[in-house]
């Protein structure tokens, strides 16, 4: 029999969280939010998440529905706590699990699971129990489900897939000859085709072709690079202790394409995130490379908006994504009845994810995608196939959404796009940064 997972002490978690990163502990204010059909108290199911703004309101609606007993199911008493998104959320989550103050259910980016499951900060799901409530492995795409496991055990249940995609002005794309017979973005198939699409869109708009905001951003360059690199079929493996196993030639090929695409002429190279979003919304570009979560903002622009999975231009279909998922923060002696309710809650929320799709997220729970109401969502249904070829961050404790890894990958890529360094030098710097992170000890291992 293997040894049980060694769980880190609260003191150890605190020590490593504070070391050189005091800001990580400065979590934003917590706002307790009991659903209208529940009352806070010992009997209420405790739920933590990081959904604010429009997403937060949609989650309110979903929680209200399951609280009242959607579809004739028994209702819930739910006590929801909303925390600020960012590194502080994940520090709070780790400390609560290590300190015996964990919620019953919590939201987590699937890309962050590798920093929590190995150290015993989250508990495994009971798949038989989930199946009682209508949720099984076959309800998720293999590409996403594969990342829910650690050493063969499932520790996360995906709510959505949120990919890095392309939005486009349908009228501009039509003038540029980029639409197929159904009026959707036609396949491109090669780097040259993508470059030509940018030129055609620039001509069609009289402005820029493709817009991409990356300056001072801590994730955008990585999202673009990671998706394109995965399309080459090359491995980006970061084994514990190093060295990184990265195909330098493939990486240089990708960064070279990025610099050719954002040449500062056809497509600007020096936009920040908000600048690119504003330029596309105001018609100063025909296409934008963004996360699908910008859909609600872009729908207000008034343009005839189209969207598609990120185009395949190298050898293999792949789209960079992440996934909001549910986890069970570790409890030393969980109450079986509450754990059953936690599983039922997750299943019931998944069944409500058509509501979640209205913000642009792809429901991870495939039965929802089969509903006619989802097929009618425009343009959401146009990029749903991205979930089939989803690629997440490397499964390392230091990687994932909001991580320093993404930031350290972005900086040399930014230098390359701004013309301050060559693709070859940028890739060498990325390899060095990855190697440095691999030599750091996992604070919760």
Which residues have C-beta within 8 Å of that of residue 427, sequence separation ≥ 6?
246, 248, 251, 252, 255, 412
Kindly report the CA angle at 133 between 129 and 138, in degrees rounded to 5? 85
Half-sphere exposure of 233 (CA within 13 A, CB side): 4
The tokens describing 47, both together, are: 């739920």
- Rounded Cα distance, 434 and 359, in Å: 34
Query: What average pLDDT does the chain have?
Result: 90
Among candidate residues 54, 92, 133, 168, the one with its CA nearest the CA of residue 345: 133
- DSSP H or E run through 423: helix 423-438
- Rounded Cα distance, 251 and 428, in Å: 9
Residue 49 pLDDT more than 70?
yes
**Cβ–Cβ contacts within 10 Å for residue 29, how many?**
7
Three-class SS of residue 220?
Answer: helix
pLDDT for res 99: 86
pLDDT for res 69: 86
Q: How confident is the model at residue 182 (pLDDT cuts 50, 70, 90)?
A: very high
Q: How confident is the model at residue 43 (pLDDT cuts 50, 70, 90)?
A: confident
Q: How confident is the model at residue 7 (pLDDT cuts 50, 70, 90)?
A: very low
Q: Is the peptide bond before 71 cis (omega within 30 degrees of 0)?
A: no
Residue 39 pLDDT more than 60?
no
**Cβ–Cβ contacts within 10 Å for residue 113, how many?**
25
Place of tokens 């925390």: 83
The tokens describing 206, both together, are: 């009289």
pLDDT for res 100: 78
What's the whole-number mean pLDDT along residues 266-276? 98
pTM exceeds 0.85: yes
pLDDT for res 397: 95
230 contacts 196 by C-beta, under 8 angstroms: no
Percent of the chain topping pLDDT 70: 90
- Strand locations in 133-280, DSSP E? 149-150, 153-154, 157-158, 160-169, 208-211, 236-237, 245-246
- Rounded Cα distance, 126 and 343, in Å: 8
Q: How confident is the model at residue 232 (pLDDT cuts 50, 70, 90)?
A: very high
- Rounded Cα distance, 12 and 95, in Å: 10
**Which structural domains are found in the chain, ordered by start?**
10-160+323-384 (3.40.190.10), 163-321+394-438 (3.40.190.10)
pLDDT for res 73: 76
Q: How confident is the model at residue 31 (pLDDT cuts 50, 70, 90)?
A: very low
Q: How many residues does the structure list for the chain? A: 445
**Cβ–Cβ contacts within 10 Å for residue 84, how many?**
16
Place of tokens 């508990």: 123
Cβ burial, residue 260 (10 Å; 0-12/13-18/19+): middle
pLDDT for res 445: 64
What is the 3 state secondary structure string of 289-325? EEEHHHHHHHHCCCCCEEEEECCCCCCCCCEEEECEE
Which residues have C-beta within 8 Å of that of residue 60, sequence separation ≥ 6?
33, 35
pLDDT for res 71: 77
Percent of the chain topping pLDDT 90: 85
133 contacts 73 by C-beta, under 8 angstroms: no
* β pairing state of 149-150 and 390-391: unpaired
pLDDT for res 353: 97
Place of tokens 């399309």: 231
Three-class SS of residue 31?
Answer: strand
Which residues have C-beta within 8 Å of that of residue 286, sequence separation ≥ 6?
168, 169, 172, 173, 176, 201, 202, 204, 205, 207, 208, 209, 210
pLDDT for res 237: 98
Half-sphere exposure of 72 (CA within 13 A, CB side): 0
- Rounded Cα distance, 346 and 334, in Å: 17
Residue 335 pLDDT more than 50?
yes
Among candidate residues 313, 323, 109, the one with its CA nearest the CA of residue 224: 313
- Rounded Cα distance, 421 and 404, in Å: 21
What's the whole-number mean pLDDT along residues 369-377? 97
Cα torsion 87, 90, 92, 95: sign: negative
- Rounded Cα distance, 303 and 305, in Å: 5
Tens digits of per-residue pLDDT, 144-176?
A: 999 999 999 999 999 999 999 999 999 999 999
pLDDT for res 101: 84
pLDDT for res 443: 79
- DSSP H or E run through 251: helix 248-261
Tens digits of per-residue pLDDT, 189-227?
A: 999 999 999 999 999 999 999 999 999 999 999 999 999
238 contacts 393 by C-beta, under 8 angstroms: no
pLDDT for res 378: 96
416 contacts 252 by C-beta, under 8 angstroms: no
Q: How confident is the model at residue 108 (pLDDT cuts 50, 70, 90)?
A: very high
Tens digits of per-residue pLDDT, 82-105?
A: 999 888 899 999 999 988 789 999
């Amino acid at each position: 029999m293997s040894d049980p997972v060694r769980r880190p002490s609260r003191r150890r978690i605190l020590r490593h969280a504070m070391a050189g990163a005091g800001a990580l502990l400065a979590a934003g204010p917590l706002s307790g939010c009991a659903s209208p059909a529940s009352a806070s108290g010992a009997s209420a199911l405790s739920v933590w998440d990081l959904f604010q703004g429009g997403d937060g309101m949609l989650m309110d609606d979903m929680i209200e529905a399951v609280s009242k007993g959607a579809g004739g199911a028994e209702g819930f008493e739910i006590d929801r706590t909303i925390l600020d998104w960012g590194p502080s959320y994940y520090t709070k989550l780790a400390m609560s699990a290590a300190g015996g103050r964990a919620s019953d259910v919590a939201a987590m980016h699937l890309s962050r699971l590798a920093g929590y499951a190995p150290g015993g900060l989250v508990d495994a799901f009971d798949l038989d129990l989930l199946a009682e409530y209508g949720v099984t492995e076959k309800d998720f795409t293999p590409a996403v489900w594969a990342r829910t496991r650690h050493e063969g055990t499932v520790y996360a249940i995906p709510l959505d897939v949120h990919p890095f995609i392309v939005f486009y002005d349908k009228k501009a794309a039509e003038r540029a000859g980029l639409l197929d017979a159904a009026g959707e973005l036609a396949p491109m198939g090669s780097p040259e085709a993508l470059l030509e699409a940018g030129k055609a869109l620039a001509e069609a708009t009289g402005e820029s072709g493709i817009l991409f905001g990356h300056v001072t951003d801590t994730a955008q360059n990585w999202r673009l690079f990671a998706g394109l690199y995965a399309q080459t079929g090359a491995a980006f493996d970061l084994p514990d202790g190093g060295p990184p196993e990265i195909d330098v030639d493939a990486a240089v090929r990708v960064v070279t394409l990025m610099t050719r695409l954002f040449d500062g002429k056809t497509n600007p190279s020096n936009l920040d995130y908000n600048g690119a979003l504003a330029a596309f919304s105001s018609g100063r570009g025909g296409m934008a490379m963004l996360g699908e979560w910008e859909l609600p903002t872009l729908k207000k622009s008034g343009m005839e908006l189209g969207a598609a999975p990120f185009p395949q231009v190298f050898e293999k279909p792949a789209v960079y994504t992440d996934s909001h998922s549910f986890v069970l923060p570790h409890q030393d002696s969980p109450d079986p009845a509450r754990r059953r309710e936690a599983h039922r809650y997750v299943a019931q929320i998944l069944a409500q994810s058509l509501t979640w799709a209205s913000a642009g997220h792809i429901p991870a729970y495939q039965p929802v995608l089969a509903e006619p109401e989802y097929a009618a969502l425009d343009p959401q249904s146009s990029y749903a196939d991205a979930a089939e070829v989803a690629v997440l961050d490397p499964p390392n404790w230091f990687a994932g959404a909001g991580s320093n890894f993404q930031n350290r990958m972005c900086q040399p890529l930014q230098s390359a796009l701004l013309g301050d360094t060559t693709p070859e030098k940028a890739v060498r710097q990325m390899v060095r940064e990855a190697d440095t992170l691999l030599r750091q000890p996992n604070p919760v291992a």
